Amino acid sequence: MAFLQPALLYALPAVLIPLIIHLLHRRRFQEKSWGAMRFLREALEEKRGRRKVRHWIVLAMRMLAVAMLIVAMSRPLIGGWLAGWAGSGDRSITIVMDRSTSMERKLPGGLTKREIALHTLTETLSQVNPSEVWLLDQPLHKYSNLATQFGPTDAKADLPAMLMKAFQNWTRTQQTNGEIWIASDLQATSWRAEDAAAWADVEAAYSKLDSGPTLRVLSIQGGKPNRSIRCEMDQRQLIVTIQQETAATQTIPVTLKQGDQTTNKDVTLSGKTTTLTLDMPSEGVVIGEISLPEDGNARDNTTHFVFANETRPTVAIVCENTNVEALLSLAVSPTSAVDITREATWQDEALIIWQGRTPDTNEMDAYLAEGGQLLVIPDEQAATKTSEPGLPIMHWSQDEGPLRDTRSGESLPLHNLRTFRHTTVTGDALASLATAPWLSKENGTYFLATLPLTSWSTLGEGPILLPLVQRLLTEGQKRFSQVHVREAGQAPWKAGIWPNANGWDITVRPVAEDDPKEARVSSLGNLPFQEFAMEAKPQGNDALNEWWRPILFLGLLFLLAEGLLTRMPSPKRSITSAA
């Protein structure tokens, strides 16, 4: 049991007041022997034991009533959100607030998870009266007002990084007595639940703290049914993806705004993910948004887009083998929409495909730093390893990179590809054979271990080479675009369209925010988290789990029992004289 006002417990010796009054009252009377009363005393002796027991019970009731009054005024906490709170005024509190988009999801009570957390934290702070309060979401600052400091965002949270910052502040400010309160919906991506290395660092940092703080987690889970929408701009097509939590088939209205024009379109959702393609005007600037009807989270119902007149992309293919060059040219520009050169300027190209050893120049470094894409393929004279039946691709990155899954969730058919000759490549493997990397990335450069020739591999057949090259081309062309897309996470914290001197910036909700999977606090490192699950309504004293009311009621029951015992008539006395 903990107490919000523990200083009042020093008044507990006051429970002896009824006993002291009783003893003083007895001293008012002095016993004197009187012969005539001897026979009366003997007659009443048999009743005295029962009256003495009742007398002590009355005295105990009075003492317990005083004790209950003092304990109730000390405001005890039993379990709940602040179980174990010491109630000392010199305790500091650091509030770590998850303000990711998922925290704007509404619960059945009508408030968002963030609003429920803020209400509970505000009420709790007003009750416990800590010595100082630090607020932490991304920046760290002293307490002023939770509601204004912790507004809604369209960004994601990084709880391990935020905890590390809280620990650093604990050390910097030389705190020795305090707590860290974490308010979150436990979204797995925000907590980086699968990043064991990050949590190992957090655990190590916590173990180094002197008198480590208590870690309390206010978890607000669940919520009203929700859907989310996002889009990608591909040439002059808008690729829209709608996600829902169930696989139910249903038709919903979707609102499309293009400048001053607004149109409504009924879309049938089938499965958890639905993708549709909308054609945009072939010329001119098109600025707009597409949105879903109201549901559990209003902040993931709208996505923005801008189409502008773009420059024709240029690709340099620096290759000695004409057959390899022809295959790569076909993959780069199957519709002749790309200018292809044989020399690299390291300035004008969206993509450079280079065979053999690349030049070590400052121009190449600047090209990569600006977002240019470089794919290096092996020299035919390089040392290779051979496999007559052909080696299959065993593993590849399906979530990101040029070999990622398609928008519909289908994997590229890498399992069908066979490699007969390959070189050794360095860097982080994006695709691997059984014993060696097949595609890797190092310092912004992609390295391919084989060639699209029949003597080397089946890569030249197209199902892998075409999307590989086209995705690199699309990524490299972004540096020439008037439209730049980035995730919300730095000011501004909200999604939207922001004009700049060269075009437009579009800030979008991070993809990770559409993943509803929740983490389990108990599995996140070996940290002493104390989790309290909130209900779908604002919680103040209920979250504190104060017990002063039932304890005060118990004290009143003791007083009532004392009153009944004192008013109970005494047993009738009977004196029998000897015949």
In this predicted structure, the answer to whether residue 6 has a pLDDT above a threshold of 90 is no
DSSP letters for 71-108: HHHT-EE-SSTTTT----TT-EEEEEE--SGGGGPBPT
Do the Cβ atoms of 329 and 317 come closer than 8 Å? yes
Three-state SS sequence of 325-364: HHHHHHHHCCCCCCEEECCCCCCCCCEEEEECCCCCCHHH
Q: 191: which 2 tokens?
A: 């907590």
* 127 contacts: CB under 8 Å, gap ≥ 6: 4, 75, 540, 541, 544
Three-state SS sequence of 528-575: CEEEEECCCCCCCHHHHCECHHHHHHHHHHHHHHHHHHHHCCCCCCCC
Distance from C-alpha of 190 to C-alpha of 509, rounded to nearest angstrom: 13
pLDDT at site 350 = 96
In this predicted structure, the answer to whether residue 226 has a pLDDT above a threshold of 60 is yes
> Which residue from 321, 314, 331 is spatially nearest to 459, judged by alpha carbons?
331
Give the pLDDT band of residue 147 (cuts 50, 70, 90): low
Do the Cβ atoms of 182 and 213 come closer than 8 Å? no
- Read off the pTM: 0.70
Percent of the chain with pLDDT over 90: 50
In this predicted structure, the answer to whether residue 571 has a pLDDT above a threshold of 60 is no
In this predicted structure, the answer to whether residue 262 has a pLDDT above a threshold of 50 is yes
Give the mean pLDDT of 176-195.
Answer: 91
pLDDT digits (tens, 9 = 90+) for 395-437: 999 988 999 998 777 899 999 999 999 999 999 999 999 989 9
Give the pLDDT band of residue 137 (cuts 50, 70, 90): low
pLDDT digits (tens, 9 = 90+) for 474-521: 999 988 999 999 999 866 789 999 998 889 999 999 999 999 899 998
The answer to which of 52-56, 130-134, 186-190, 403-407 has the lowest mean pLDDT is: 52-56
Do the Cβ atoms of 145 and 59 come closer than 8 Å? no
Q: What is the CA radius of gyration of the chain?
A: 37
